[in-house]
Every structure is written in C-alpha cells, then in structure tokens.
Chains A and B, each alone.
Chain A
C-alpha cells in the first residue's frame, strides 16, 4: 500500500509541476485510435470569449493548443499487445500534436480502457478524538478502510472517497469542521491489471515522456459526457470504444462503479469483414459510411459496392444491400449492449434513483443505436457528446473524443484520491523515523 502511495504521489507531483510549467499532454490510448491533446494552462483569462463555454466545470482554465490523432496499432481490447508498434503510434500522435502546438511537452496524462477494471466498495470507521472532523481525521478514516484482496498482479488505479457519514448523518461530501463522534467513509477502489500499466508506462518512457497521471477511460469519458445533474442524480455512461466498452456509474458526482466489456467497434468491423469476405480496412469504411441498426424498406434498395482488387471480376463486383450490412452489424451491437446491461445489473444499477444512461465513444455514432439501446437498456438513454472545451479542433469534438476531453477535465480538476491525504502515523512501520516525526507534527 505504501508503494502505491508513493507512485501515485509521484505522479501527482509531476502533474503539479507540469501545470506550473503550463503545458501538459493528454494521451488517449485506444484500440482504434490514439489521440494526443496538448493543454496550456493560463489561468482564468479569456473567460466567456467563446459562446457556450462557461467556467463551471473548470474547462476554462486551460486551452487546447495542439491536437493529433493517429490510427492505433498494437492495441487490443484497450491493452497494449505489441509494445513497439504502440510506441511508434504514440510517437506519431505526440509529434504531430507538438508540431501543431509548437511547444515541447514532457509530461503526459494517459488513459486506457481495457485491463479488466474491477470495482470494490470499501468502508471504514473511526472514533473522532476531539469531536471535530479535521483533515487528519479524514486521513485516518481513509486509512482505516481495509483493502480487499485485489489479487496477484493487479494495481489500484483509482481510490476515491465517495461518501462520508458522521454519526447517523450520511451523504456528506466534505465533513471537515463538523462535529460528531464517529466518522465513517465509503471509498470506491478501482483495480486494473498491473501489466497493462507497466506496458503503458514503458511505452511512454520510450517516447521520452513522463507519466503525470493515469486514469480509466470509462471514468474520464463519463466526466466529459455526463452533464452535471446526471452526475449528481446518478447515471451510467457507456463508452463504446474500439476494442472495449467501458461502463461507469456516477452518483453524487462520484464514480461508484466501473467495468469494461471486452467488445467494441472493432468486433463489428471484424464481423463485417468475415461475413462479406472483404479486408478489414474496407469493412471499416463500409461500416462508417453505410452502417446502421434498423433496416427499413428503403435499405433493401440501397446497394453498396463492396469493391476489391482480387482480380476476380465476380468477386470484385459484388454488391450487397444495406439491409444485409445491418443484418451483420446488429447482432454484435446487441451483444455488446446486452453485456453492458449485465454489467449494470451486476452493479445494481436498477436500485439507483435515476436510471439515466448515456452512450458515448466512437461506437455511439452508429445510426439507430439510441433506438436499439432503448430496447435493451431501458427508456432513459441518450447519446452523449463531450463537453466543449476551448481550442479543441472541430474534428475532435465528436463522441469518439469523449475520453480525451474527459482526461483534460481530469487534468484540470482531479478528484481527491486516497493518496492525496497524509498517511496517519499509525500506518508507518513501527520504528520509522518518519513515524516519530509525524507524531511530533500531529501532537505539538
């Protein structure tokens, strides 16, 4: 646990240093694309210069000065599978973004969608020493949460206090200064595969960059595409990515659950490719240009040229109707959504007061997805687009960039995590000099 504290704190300090310097890069390592945004922090200046951009979510603190995206390589299911391919793809994106920004970045905040995230709800309770909740008490109650066995080879990615309870009053966001006897807290802990983080860290170090933060893609895309009241009242965000579909549930502005389904848009493409015997690249093109989920009578007559360069005239002149294409795509999308539904069911989403579901990510651009999602996920489904931030190019405002934009907001306004609080003295080893020092600091 101390080890985790140290690495996460090191990243936090690096992020602070980067914000001091004013420039930080955002890297979204996805299965279908790698996006790199470069942020410049220059205070609260230029507020309300752009129509529709308000200061409320902290997105006016920074400005995007460079943006680049490249086709991702060597990433499967949101995890890095071929290191040097991914490294080259990251380099491509970072170089193009640096060129656009005309500035050199050294610190990068990254997110990825895979690595089998698992959520744990932790609880802790302490008796207050002097009846008033202090920062020290919060650190103690956070430290008193007993960490479950997250398994071999797994790492904690997020550990956020989501709720505080003081005696019989629950639902406190910030109990500091309040009076009571017994402080309890709930914490949400998200663990991922250790190796995925290691691989990402290695790739980023190979690009001469330093990792200043790491986040789950399901979390950050929810930050950018859920509006404030949805975050407050409770909502789920389903990020339909290329290789993995992230699911996160928000309640009272805190993430309380996150998981991912290891299926995404690339599987739809693979189905088309296999079903129609065409290359994956052509399948991707047909999917984005003609894809859909609800067939109408019109679609029987809309014929799609498959093309091909095989030299076989019959094969190269094949035409299919759009209905056939929809017939291939729809079962897979249904499967993805059903998986997401089962994830939500497992998380107990039914018991939340609000059942809002927001679909985002590149896969949410399939026409007719909202109607299909209505049937599978329930009536309260909407398509979400990321928040508008200053300086973002028009090409990067679509739902495919939800996690990149969310990561920008995460960089500007990070959530308090476990490691942001001081470790109470009891957690240090018994004969540590630091423990003695802390004892003096706390008691004098």
Chain B
C-alpha cells in the first residue's frame, strides 16, 4: 500500500558535496506535488471505457471493422485485386504440378489386348498430367461408351499410375441381321461384330427385328429347351413381339407372347410323351395356350389322308398374298 504520508525526503542541496568530512545530510522536506486523484477527464474516460457496449464494441467490433477497412481499401484497385488472384492461382498451379501429383502411366487391367488398345485410344490423355487436372468421371464415361466395356473403374495409384480396371461384356448370343452378325450380351447390348458364324458356333443364334432387346427372354427359352436344345438352329423374333424356335428340318415352334417358357415346357412334355417333334411336322403353334396346333408337311398330310382313305390334296398353288 502506498504510504499515507504525502512527503518525500529529498536532498536539499544539489551540486557540489564537500570534498572532506561528512556529506550534507538531507535536511528539508519538500512537498511532493502528487495527487492520487484522477483528473476529471481521466475519470470520465475510464467510466466511458467501462461502458459494457463500448467494451464489447472495442473488443470485437473495432478489430473486425479495421480488418474489413484495410482489406476493402487494398482490394479497391483492380490491379491489386488481379495481383492477389494471380498469386493464388500461381500458388495453386505450383502445388498441383508437383511431381507427387503427376500421372505418367496408364495401366489397364481386365481387358483383352485389343480392347485395351481401344480403351487407351479412347482415353485420349496427353500424359504426363497433374492428377488435379484429370477428370476421371468424364474419362470413365468415355470408356463406358465402348460397347465391349460393361464397367470401368479409374483410380490414381501412387507412383503416378492411372489404373483402369475394366469389366468386359461377355457375348452370349449371336444376332443375325441383314447387315451382318453381331455378338450380344445377356442384356442384349452389342459387344462386337462377327464375320463368320462359325467363329462363335458355341453361341446360340437369334434373329429378327428387336431380338437384341428381348435377349434375356431368349436366354430363358434356350435354358428351358433342354432335350431339344441340340436341335435348335436359332430363335427368330417375330414382329418384335414373340419368339419362334427354329429347329433343324425346318421345324418351327411358334411361342406365344406371354409366358413363352411355360408354353415351351408344355410342348416338351408333349414331346416326351408322344415323341411329337420327331414326326414329320412343319410347325407347332403354341400361340393359343389352350389349343396347340400342328402343321404337317404336305407329304405327311397326304399320307395321313391316304391312310384315312381320302384323296390326297392337290399340290398347293403359289398365290400372291
């Protein structure tokens, strides 16, 4: 605590002290002009500074305002604004073009050699390129435009390698069109063209307009064919609406629009019981579910009539229909 005595001892005489003998003692007490009271304006100032709103403003508002004002003034000039933007873009570019982020190689996995070449040409990246500049989504979309590619997965691996993992489409059917042969996968999507049917004689043949879109149904029918499978030459899509099964000896099985597999199963049951398809039939019409209809070949028809004691039918006349 400060002393309550408002005096301070001060040497009375300044300047020269005697050269010998005792130094002059401090003899007088000088009144020290010191007033502990704050001046009126200091007091008022302190009170103003203790005002809660002002304190909050000084602590928060004023720094914010100052920073905003400085930034605003600095950014007011177009030139400096561009300079600042330039600095930031440069920094970003420098960072992005660091060797750690450069992609130099493309590795393609899960594709045959020809497809890999096609993918590579399709990717069309002029490497090396920074991984920040690569648009992997767009590249993936470009690759997936290839018919033979079902899905692609692109990722940038460490060491600057862009790894492309490709899932190929597997052809399950051959589609014959007027323009040529096409390999089709289980969804009916084109996989590739085909020059010779004999090149892929392991695959079943389909034909007709819209056959590719109904490929899943065709596969179901083929799977249900069972015992007659070796005899099937192919399936024909009729009027883009229903299937015909073409067997050897030009036999045809006309399947209905709805539930073709069920109809085929019933036919197979008939075949198993009466060995029907081995007979001299031209076609089996299953389009009406409660009335399967057979058409015999002309020879068989005549033989039947003859066996029943009837005249053989005359030779059919070719008419313009």
Contacts and interface: CB of A to CB of B under 8 A. Distances in A.
B partners with A: yes
Interface of A: 70-71, 88-89, 91-92, 94-95, 98-99, 102-104, 207-208, 281-282, 284-285, 309, 311
Contacts of A99: 46
For the complex of A and B, 9 pairs with smallest distance between CB atoms: A88-B37, A104-B50, A311-B27, A281-B5, A92-B37, A91-B43, A309-B29, A95-B38, A104-B47
Interface in B1-32: 4-7, 9, 25-29
A250 B5 CA distance: 39
9 contacts: A91-B38, A91-B43, A95-B46, A98-B47, A103-B50, A104-B50, A208-B43, A281-B4, A284-B4
A366 B170 CA distance: 112
A307 to B, nearest CB: 11
Question: In which size bucket is the chain B interface?
Answer: 20 to 34
B35 interface: yes
A70 B36 contact: yes
Given A309-B29, A311-B25, A102 B36 contact: no
B53 to A, nearest CB: 11
A281 B37 contact: no
Q: Which has the most chain B C-beta neighbours within 10 Å: A89, A91, A281, A284?
A: A91
B51 interface: yes
A179 B35 CA distance: 63
A177 B244 CA distance: 111
A89 B37 contact: yes
Contact of B37 (A91, A98, A103): A91
A208 B29 contact: no
Interface in B197-256: none
B316 interface: no
B44 interface: yes
Nearest to B49: A104
Interface in B140-194: none
B9 A309 contact: yes
Given A91-B40, A92-B38, A102-B50, 4 more contacts: A70-B36, A92-B37, A98-B50, A281-B6
A71 B3 CA distance: 11
B7 to A, nearest CB: 8
Given A92-B37, A103-B50, A207 B43 contact: yes
Contacts of B6: 281
Given A103-B50, A311-B27, A208 B37 contact: no
Contacts of B26: 309
Interface string B67-82: 0000000000000000
Nearest to A71: B4
A88 B38 CA distance: 7
B52 interface: yes
Contacts of A89: 37
Contacts of A91: 37-38, 40, 43
A88 B40 CA distance: 8
